[in-house]
């Protein structure tokens, strides 16, 4: 075999190995026609998405299998997905569970434990125990479902840390007591976190999941694992097909700046800020193909400096939730590299002006 042919085959194998170190994690809340539209997907639309996975040779695996393989650097087949649900809703048991059980597909149900058995819209512990016996992973979504980055009025940093730690620990202990086991994975309430919340999750030993779009990646932050949420305006099959086929943006380092000379130490911005997202990639050719977008602003300016990409909102951020989404064509029809960064924006005095 000629040297050039051997080299080509080696490059193809290496490229395949790199692409296989990733998987898409799907996130749902309600699967129902009678629950709030903003967080719901109809049973019919959910079924259509599951049909697409089956017909297009996707491999549905337990979330814990993904996290363990990525911890160890083990390969994953292309088109690997895991399915997750948040918020303890009864429609997961009533509608999603029987559909997934029929297919023999595993999923993870992140439950905020205070809500369980508290009313008709929430699952009961008996229902969760039944699901657990049939291969469903029951996992931690906090106890009270509070917005973890927020400090309460007159709360010190020490008090806040103790409260957040207790909230996570209490949920973990409750799940272990009721189900018999509790894996070390955590879904942040509302999918939102800041760097200090991430540090608490890491200290406690959790792999933690957000609600920002993107692909689970072997070189990603294990306390900021992305998931693609589906529900409300994000329930159409075409949107699902695009997202489930995405690849991870091969980011080596992520940094945040207030301006080009002042690094930010957190993900909480203030009204009027225009923070910079700085992504470092080894692939300088790919850097030049990346387009970024901000919530409510459309395409935003990007600059390539060396092996880094600098992206900044066009206009000042307003209080609320904002995301920068950066994508690039991945060289295959219908497939894109994807990276999302969330920002939590307070008013100019640092007060939260939007509801949990």
Q: What tokens appear for 84 in the block?
A: 């997750």
CA of residue 218 relative to chain centroid, distance: 14
Q: Which CATH superfamily is domain 3-246 in?
A: Glycoside hydrolase/deacetylase (3.20.20.370)
Please state, in angstroms and as integers, the Cα–Cα distance from residue 105 to each residue in 28, 50, 51, 230, 235, following that order.
Answer: 15, 10, 12, 18, 20
Considering only the top CATH level, what class is 251-346?
Answer: mainly beta
- For 288, the 3-state DSSP assignment is coil
The pLDDT of residue 356: 67
Outline which parts of the chain fall under CATH 3.20.20.370.
Answer: 3-246
Crossing angle of the two packed helices 157-179 and 195-204, in degrees rounded to 10: 50
Outline which parts of the chain fall under CATH 2.60.40.10.
Answer: 251-346
What's the half-sphere exposure (Cβ side, CA atoms, 13 Å) at 318? 5
Bridge partners (DSSP) of residue 44 are: none
- For 28, the 3-state DSSP assignment is strand
Give the global pTM: 0.91
Please state, in angstroms and as integers, the Cα–Cα distance from residue 148 to each residue in 44, 243, 249, 256, 348, following that order.
Answer: 34, 27, 27, 21, 20
The pLDDT of residue 294: 97
CA of residue 211 relative to chain centroid, distance: 4
Phi first, then psi, for residue 290 (nearest 5°) are -80, 135
The pLDDT of residue 76: 76
The pLDDT of residue 56: 96
Give residues with Cβ within 8 angstroms of 63, minimum separation 6: 25, 82, 83, 84, 106, 107, 108, 137, 139, 185
Q: What tokens appear for 328 in the block?
A: 């690039």
Task: Tell me the average confidence (pLDDT) per consecutive run of 10 residues in the chain, 356 residues long.
Answer: 38 39 91 92 97 96 90 80 97 97 98 96 98 98 96 94 98 98 97 96 97 89 94 91 94 93 90 96 93 97 96 95 95 91 93 81
The pLDDT of residue 333: 84
The pLDDT of residue 15: 40
Please state, in angstroms and as integers, the Cα–Cα distance from residue 330 to each residue in 7, 20, 249, 286, following that order.
Answer: 22, 14, 9, 9
**Closest residue by Cα to residue 70 from 308, 248, 287:** 248
Give the span between the Cα atoms of 285 and 137, in whole angstroms.
Answer: 41
Query: For the CA atoms of the chain, what is the radius of gyration?
Result: 21
Give the span between the Cα atoms of 347 and 214, in whole angstroms.
Answer: 28
- DSSP structure class, residue 231: B
């Amino acid at each position: 075999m000629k040297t050039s042919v051997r080299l080509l085959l080696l490059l193809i194998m290496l490229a395949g190995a790199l692409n296989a170190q990733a998987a898409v994690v799907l996130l749902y809340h309600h699967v129902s026609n009678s629950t709030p539209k903003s967080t719901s997907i109809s049973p019919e639309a959910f079924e259509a998405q599951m049909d697409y996975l089956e017909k297009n040779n996707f491999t549905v695996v337990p979330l814990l299998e993904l996290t363990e393989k990525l911890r160890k650097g083990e390969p994953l087949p292309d088109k690997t997905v895991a399915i997750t649900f948040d918020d303890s809703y009864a429609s997961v048991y009533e509608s999603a569970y029987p559909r997934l059980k029929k297919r023999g597909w595993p999923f993870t149900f992140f439950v905020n434990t205070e809500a369980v058995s508290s009313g008709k819209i929430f699952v009961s512990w008996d229902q969760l125990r039944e699901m657990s016996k049939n291969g469903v992973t029951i996992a931690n979504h906090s106890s009270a479902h509070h917005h973890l980055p927020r400090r309460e009025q007159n709360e010190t940093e020490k008090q806040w840390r103790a409260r957040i730690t207790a909230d996570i620990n209490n949920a973990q202990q409750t799940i272990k007591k009721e189900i018999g086991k509790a894996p070390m994975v955590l879904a942040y309430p509302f999918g939102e976190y800041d760097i200090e919340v991430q540090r608490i999750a890491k200290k406690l030993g959790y792999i933690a999941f957000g609600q920002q779009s993107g692909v689970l990646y072997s070189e990603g932050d294990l306390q900021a694992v992305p998931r693609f949420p589906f529900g409300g305006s994000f329930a159409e099959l075409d949107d699902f097909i695009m997202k489930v086929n995405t690849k991870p943006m091969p980011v080596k380092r992520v940094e945040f700046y207030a301006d080009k000379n002042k690094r930010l130490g957190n993900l909480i911005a203030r009204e009027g800020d225009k923070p910079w997202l700085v992504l470092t990639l080894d692939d300088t050719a790919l850097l030049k193909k990346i387009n970024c977008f901000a919530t409510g602003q459309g395409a935003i300016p990007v600059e390539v400096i060396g092996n880094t990409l600098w992206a900044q909102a066009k206009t000042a951020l307003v209080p609320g939730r904002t995301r920068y989404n950066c994508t690039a064509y991945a060289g295959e029809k219908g497939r894109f590299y994807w990276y999302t960064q969330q920002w939590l924006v307070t008013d100019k005095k640092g007060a939260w002006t939007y509801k949990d």
